[in-house]
Amino acid sequence: MGNVNLRNKWALVTGASSGLGVDFADILAGRGANVVLIARRAHKLEAVAEGLRQRHGVEVNVIALDLGAPGAVPALLGQLDAAGVSPTVLINNAGVGAHGAFADSEWARVHAMLQLNIVTLTELTHALLPVMRAAGEGYVLQVGSLAAFQACPYSAAYAATKAYVLSLGEALNFELRDAGIKVAVLNPGITETEFFDVSGHNLTKWLERVMMKSRPVAEAGIAALFAGDASVVAGTLNKATALLNRVLPRRTVVATAARYNRAN
Ligand SMILES: NC(=O)c1ccc[n+]([C@@H]2O[C@H](COP(=O)([O-])OP(=O)(O)OC[C@H]3O[C@@H](n4cnc5c(N)ncnc54)[C@H](OP(=O)(O)O)[C@@H]3O)[C@@H](O)[C@H]2O)c1
């Protein structure tokens, strides 16, 4: 996982109240980083924070915030400033899905997803890169998805947000390669978290069978980040799927995605 020393440095993890975010926070705290945990559910964040302090003896700050609300990023930056925290690591993990036929979906829900998955992620990255550049060191992990590699009927706008995340991250990895800043995109396949309860997607039997645990997925992302890789797909089967998607005709790929992702 590289020899990056994170002792006395700060890592920000968005979406740290459940799923992958909890694992990212634990992996980074295990490497000595102090951690700021951000999500909406304060009681969950407090429980995660207490576990990290006990297991790893690091400082942990909790910021309960709706990152999908307008003005969330300036509010977050204000709280970081007040706490004297200048982050070395940013894990842009908070994200939601919206499952179902696009034309029938509720606009407010789609809009909130675009705000969180795209606007907040981009705004936070944009705000913190100059801080990292001035410090001469920084690490940004953007959480994308296997859904970024093809259009996904019945998760159409969600997959499109993740295609954006993948594109942005790979470009930033290149732009910042001489600035001492590493940017990577982690693309998980189906992973056991609260994600599908929130998105309203009932998984098919096959998808349930290939579901990964969240810990190895998060580890793959952190390893790629410190190695300087631009992007990684977690898991062998998911890697094979991403590869196949590149060589098969696009209409075949979209039809296959529709079959596994059908509205139900
Ligand atoms: N699980 C999968 O199969 C899968 C596959 C590909 C990609 N991903 C991506 O992985 C990332 C993490 O998701 P997960 O699977 O770990 O799902 P999860 O268990 O539902 O976690 C999502 C996290 O984001 C936070 N969040 C959601 N809306 C928020 C908001 N408006 N403001 C602040 N925080 C918010 C949630 O906390 P609160 O509810 O407390 O705010 C939670 O901590 C997402 O970007 C997702 O798109 C997941």
DSSP characters over 146-204: GGGGS--TTSHHHHHHHHHHHHHHHHHHHHTTTTTEEEEEEE--SBSSSHHHHHT-PPP
Distance between CA atoms of residues 30 and 40, nearest Å: 24
- Residue 211 DSSP one-character state: P
The one-letter code for the residue type at 212 is: M
Tell me, in angstroms, the distance from the centre of ligand 1 to residue 59's CA.
23
Q: What is the pLDDT of residues 145-194, one digit of tens each?
A: 999 999 999 999 999 999 999 999 999 999 999 999 999 999 999 999 99
Out of 22, 191, 196, give the residue to mutate to test ligand 1, the one with the largest number of ligand atoms within 8 Å of its CB. 191
Residue from 25, 140, 22, 21 nearest 87 by CA: 140
- Residue bearing the CA closest to ligand 1, atom 25: 15
| Coil/strand/helix, residue 44 | helix
Distance between CA atoms of residues 77 and 199, nearest Å: 28
Domain 10-260 CATH class label: alpha beta
Q: Outline where DSSP puts E strands in the chain.
A: 10-14, 34-39, 60-64, 87-92, 138-143, 181-187, 231-233
Out of 13, 18, 213, give the residue to mutate to test ligand 1, the one with the largest number of ligand atoms within 8 Å of its CB. 18
- Residue bearing the CA closest to ligand 1, atom 43: 15
42 lines ligand 1 (CB under 6 A): no
Task: Report whether pLDDT(251) > 60.
Answer: yes
**0.85 exceeded by the pTM?**
yes
Q: What is the pLDDT of residues 6-43, one digit of tens each?
A: 999 999 999 999 999 999 999 999 999 999 999 999 99
Question: Domain boundaries in the chain?
Answer: 10-260
115 lines ligand 1 (CB under 6 A): no
- HSE on the CB side for 8, CA within 13 Å? 0
Q: Any residues with CB less than 8 A from the CB of 133 and at least 6 apart, and which?
A: 176, 179, 180, 181
- Residue bearing the CA closest to ligand 1, atom 20: 195
